[in-house]
Every structure is written in C-alpha cells, then in structure tokens.
Structure 1
C-alpha cells in the first residue's frame, strides 16, 4: 500500500535562491500532518515553508486573480517502505489541494489544486526513512468583490495518493503569517452631474441663472465659465441641497466664455464635474460702418448609447459535461457629442442566472472579452475593458480618456461565455445584463 507518511524534515526540491535571500511571498509556519490510518504511522509536527504569489497585485473590483500556492518544505514525506518494492510512489501519484485565506477588505478562502507529481524512488533504510517529495504547486482563482487591501495567507493542505487505493495525508496550519498583500481599486461609478442654463446667450456682465444637478447633498459646487478645456474668469459658488441641486447666478464678464461647467472640489474633474453647457457672450460694440458681425455657435450635444437587439441567446451545454455556453452581446454604439474634456466609461453588471425551480448559476460565472473601435475622425481613442468575469459587481466594457477635446462615435462589442458547472439540471437559465454609460 502506498501512502504519504508524516515524518520530520521532509524537504521538497525547489529552485535555488540567492544566499540569504527570501523570495517575495515565502513564509514559514507550524504544521501538524496526520497520515492516513492505513499507513500505521504517528502524526508529525514541523514547519512548512510555502510561497504564495498572485498574477495581479493591483486588481480592480470584478477582476479575477489567479493565486499560486507552492509548498517548498513539509513534514509529510513519501514512505517508500510501504511502496511496491520499497521504491517510492509511482509517477504521478500525489495530488495536492490546499486553502489560501483572504482577510482585510475581502474575507474568505481560495481553494487551490495541484497536478499530480512524480515522487523520486529511494530505498528504505534507517538512514533514509522516507524520500523527499518534489515541490508542490497549487493554483486557484477568486473574484475581487471589495476595494482596499486584501491579505493572503497559506492555509492547510492535503496530499492525496491513489496507489493502489485513495489515501490522504492532511496537514493543518497554525498561525500562518501573511504572504501577499494586494490593493484592489473600485470600479468607476456613474457620474450623473449636469448643468442647465436659463439662457443660451447674453451681453457681457449678464447674471446667468445656472442649475447644477446630481451633486453630493451639502457639497460646495463651483460654477465656472469655460473656453475649450480652460476655465475663464467667470465663477460663482453655491451649496447643493438635500436633492443634490445647486442654484447659482454666474456673472459672465469674460468675453472668452463659450460654455459653463459645475464641479465639486478645488478643480474640475471627470469624476466630480458636469459636462459643459454652451453659452455665447454677445458683443455690445456696434461694428464699423459697412461691416457686419457674424456669430456662429457650436452647441454641445449629449453622451448617449444605443444597443442592437433586445436579448442575448447563449449556446447550449450538454447535461453532465458542463462547460462554456458562448454568445455575444448586442453591439453598442456610443456617441459622445458633449465637446468637453471628459471621457466616458461603459460598465456592465449581470445578475445571477435563474433556472427551473429557482435554481441558480452565479452571475460571476459569466465572462467576456470586449472590443471597441472609434469611427474615423473621432477625437478620442477607445479602450476595450479587460477580458474576465462580469458578475454582479460589474466590469468595464469600454472607456475613453479625458483630454483637451474629446468625443466621437464608438462601436463596442463583446464575446461572452457562461461557465456552466457539470450536472447542472436541464432547463433555461436567465439573467439580466445592465450597461451603464457615464
């Protein structure tokens, strides 16, 4: 009977490191290893040396992070005395599984699984009670659900063999230190701030009534004149009421003013400011005899989107096998005619998929690969969101950056895949995908 037994000093083979240099993410912690009852061996206590790494140390909420848990040294070693011909376990016998503990902004645990690994043959002797296992590498993934610092620490692990029967050596961890810290950033939120003018034009010095809406209740709102991407000398301040509405009178004295914006904070930003509303300062000095003054106004438009189709139908998945149900979202056309400096973000969120009898497939099982293209002549470039999980917390489908002058027409698309678990009961599963443009 082959087994993974508990014994002291089970060093695993690992890539050599520089002298006195500890690789990032490598920690030591006490471990209690309990061999299978069939092995007839006592438990063993000893240190485990492990290393945790992540593929993305600065994810965004909604991103999927891949975690790698490597066990470099463990009290559990191969027991060749209980292997056929005292020659160690056969090739591909051990299969490790483990846990990585999450804390901080997001709590929980990540299940990690490793592929089967060879155990080197070594004859049993008093001087060699067991053959060292090779380094064990396990991987798993989790979806970031909250912004802030998230810590990862190694948890217990299990070494499974199936030669000639299924046996488990279970190693529990105590007081495992933090191995990795990552910082998650929140998704961009919809900016619904806007500004409305009582008149589209006026003489120099006119007091323009301005309504700013969608601001934080109680916030100080600055209303300012704008000439392209730069502010003019025209400025007024008001306080937003409990509904987020601020009323101001803006004396427009700067003849360079061509638009009005409103914002919270010390300076305009795409996150806390409104788009521009066009305004024309009408000259009062009559033109010289024989001449006429000609004024043309380019009025800013809106930021809007349209989507082709009303429903998304994914491909079928055979019962029992599970797998990916592929499809595409309806093509989205975004038109930015505001004429200001603010870019935009298009964010998607999906509910859980509900099937027969209330059965559910989590919304986090839906992933996409976005694409985005700007029409010829569009001032702004378009950036597609990252491929990955959509989920109820959302993910960026596409965006354009802030700039001195932005705008254009953009075509946004995405291939989607619903990952259906094996033996999901047959039936139609339906969810709602919501796209928010801001």
Structure 2
C-alpha cells in the first residue's frame, strides 16, 4: 500500500486515539516545583505506548525528584513522599492538542539503605492542555511509608505509569531501564523513645482496573494475627476487604480485589476495625477508568480486556520413525506431532519455540552392544508453521537442519507493537542412521521449549 493510502488512515487513528498516545521527546528538563527537597536525577526509561497507538516501545530519559516532609524521622513515624517527574520520557506524538485533566499518574519510589521496599505513589487527574508534538508537563505523585529501622534510608524514583482518560482508558507504563535509579533524597531515622507501631505495608501496584486484585505485603504485625486488608476512600472504608494470617515473623503476603471505583488507598490492620495504632497504611492506590460521562446526554461505555498467557499443546508424545536395514542405514523419517501455540498475552513480545534432542540409545534382544547409540547430531528437521487468520502476529518457521543437543529453532514470532494469536507448528524428521548400526530399538527424547 502506497504512502497516499497510509496517510489518511493515520489521520483517522490520530483523531480518535492519538490524544492518549505518548512518545519519547527530546525536550529539556523543566524546573523543579518550588519548595521541593531532594535533588533532580536523570535515568534511562523504557516506555510502552498504548498498543492501539501504533508506536513501538521507546526509550528516553526521565528527570525526576523525590522529596519528603521529614528528613529526620523516628522509628514508627510515617513519612510523606512526593515523587515529581520533572521531565517525563514521553510526549504528545500527534498534531492534536490534548485537553486538560485527562492524565492520572501512578508510580513507585524505591527505598534503600537500612530500609528497603517500594512506596506506591499516585497523583490527581490534573494536567494543563498539551499542544500537538509538545512534551508532557511535569506531574507529582504522593504516598507515604512507615519508618521501621533506624539509620540512613535512601529514596530513588522508580517506575511510573501515565493513565489517560479521553475517549478510551489507556496506559503508558515507563520502567527504569537499569534499576535502581540514582538516589534523589536521603532521610536519617533515629530510634524513638517508645517503640511505637512498627506495622508497615507495600503494594505490588499503585493502580489497576475495577475488579483487579492488588498484592499487599506487610511486616511488623503480631505473629499469627488475622490481618484485614481493606480499601479506603478518604476517611471511610470501602466494601473491598480480605483477610490474611501473619506468619511467625509477623509478615504476610495477600491479595485484595478492588471493585469500588472511589478507592484511593489500601490499609491492613489487626482487630475488628481500622485503627492506625494496630494497622499500616493507607498506601496510595488508584482505580482506573473512573472518568464520569461527558455532558450533553452522552453515555460512557467501558469494558475490560484481560491479558492471557503464552501456552502450547501437542497432538502426542511419541513418534515412531521409519525402520532402516542393518548394512544399509540411511534416513529414518517421520513427522513431529503437531504443536499448537496460543499467545494471548496481548503485549509487545513475540515468542520462540526451540527444540533439542538427546542421543538415541539402543535396546532390544538383538542388540549385542548395550552401549550402542546413534548420535543426537544425526537428527535433522524441516520446520513448518501456519498462522490462524486474524492473528496479530505471523509465525515464521525455523531453518531446516540439524537439531542436536545444542538445539535449534522450530518456529517464532517477532516483537511488535501488538503481538499474539494462534499458530500450528509441524516438522518433518529425519534420523541419519549409520549403515552398520547394531540392530535394535533406539530412542531419544526431543524436548521443546516455548519462551
């Protein structure tokens, strides 16, 4: 298809979806907000734009700053953390102007030194309008953590996600290429006069869609205690709750399904109801897709497409190759049992199906040499691969040739903006049997690996 046909299609996509796509920009760093502590640090960032935007994964540099409300806390104190992305590694790739207040950022701050872990942070859905091809503006996210150990605790900016709510709900996750990022702030904690509440929790993610589960990890709780995990909306508890049991060290790991769209944080506590003295949190959390319907009688419709897994199945687990004669030898041929690959992950990664084979060892009443074998390097294959209609990816068969113990590629699909689909993989097999191989039955194991 020539350029004159592609260009209008791009305009149509841009008019509908380009407003929520992002791309790496070469724009300079913005000034850090007034009054922020810590120092600006730069780190390499890998961003994956929404698949529907038609952009490949992109790499850039993020400038960020981490500040705290107390640089000299005591053990048991709660420290408020502000993660400011001064210059995101992303911008508006289209000519269209983006409206205000469509962007909700979430992220993590990495703790190091005497206390380790991640602090989830979230920002409000508030941004200035963004001109076409312009860098995204600076944004800030807040969260908190409880000090559990005395000493120097370092804070580094971590992964962040830009969620946009305009026509569609889309995400652009940006990860630190070589974690951890440089240290932006350090707090020095001292032992308090009283032990205080040592309970603390961390979340596996700072955001999710309605109905998603979030991993909640805790420590410092009473050994063997029943701990309630709950969503919070401001100063009220939502209906989303779950219970876990702390282990002998007072730690736990559980999950909470969040269905209340007003949830802004998650807590964990012992006892019948939330009590800051017997609990931890709230840890910042944002439920995506909560944009109210636009005015004028329109209705916003929302659905969720959940990612699946990469899997394979095969039609059988045994192949009988054609017999050859002693003194003649030659190719002992057959066909690999058909393999079906299903890639329902919905991400940018392709897959590779490889195989390797062991030596063929002999057995049978007529085999006079119990150590007789046929070398694995004698097995070769001729791969073939077919793609089911409608699949985003196209399967490519591996090269014909030797399999051997080192292995060879049977089939693969490339990385792309959006990958996936269903595929069938076959191969003709041929074992080159030496002419005077002792009579008997020879068996080898062909192992296939999907990655």
The TM-score, its normalising length taken from structure 1, stands at 0.41
Larger radius of gyration: 1
The TM-score, its normalising length taken from structure 2, stands at 0.40
